[in-house]
Amino acid sequence: MYKIISEAKYIPEGNIVTKIRGKNRFLLSKIVKIYGPNPKDIIAEDGTLFLLPESVNKNINVISSSTELIWEATLDDLCHIEALAEMEREDK
């Protein structure tokens, strides 16, 4: 396992991250699902993502997609992030 500091936009959704100066672990997500009588999905605005707490505590953070986070990544994950970075370079 590798600990990578990366902008949130390069970390695949659904991965566990921590804030640079934090210890709490979060699930990185573009969507929050609300269940109940009127279920709905809340989709993060462009340029933002949600940090969902790994342990339930009622708090959901919204961050800029350029926020740097610590990502516990596997070698396969690193290949994925490199592919995303390459696509961004080609778009410029």
Q: Please, which residues have CB within 8 angstroms of residue 13's CB and are 6 or more apart in sequence?
A: 28, 29, 30, 49
Structure tokens at 88: 């961004």
Q: Give me the domain span that covers residue 64.
A: 2-91
User: What per-residue string of b and e applies to 41-75 under the rule 16 or more CB within 10 Å gives b?
Assistant: eeebeeebbbbeeeeeeeeeeebebebebbbebee
With CA atoms as reference, report the closest residue to 65 among 80, 79, 83, 84: 84
Task: Count up the domains in the chain and report the number.
Answer: 1
pLDDT for 81 equals: 75
> pLDDT of 17-59, one tens digit each?
999 999 999 999 999 988 888 899 999 999 999 999 987 777 7
CA 83 to chain centroid: 17
Task: For tokens 């989709």, name the residue.
Answer: 43
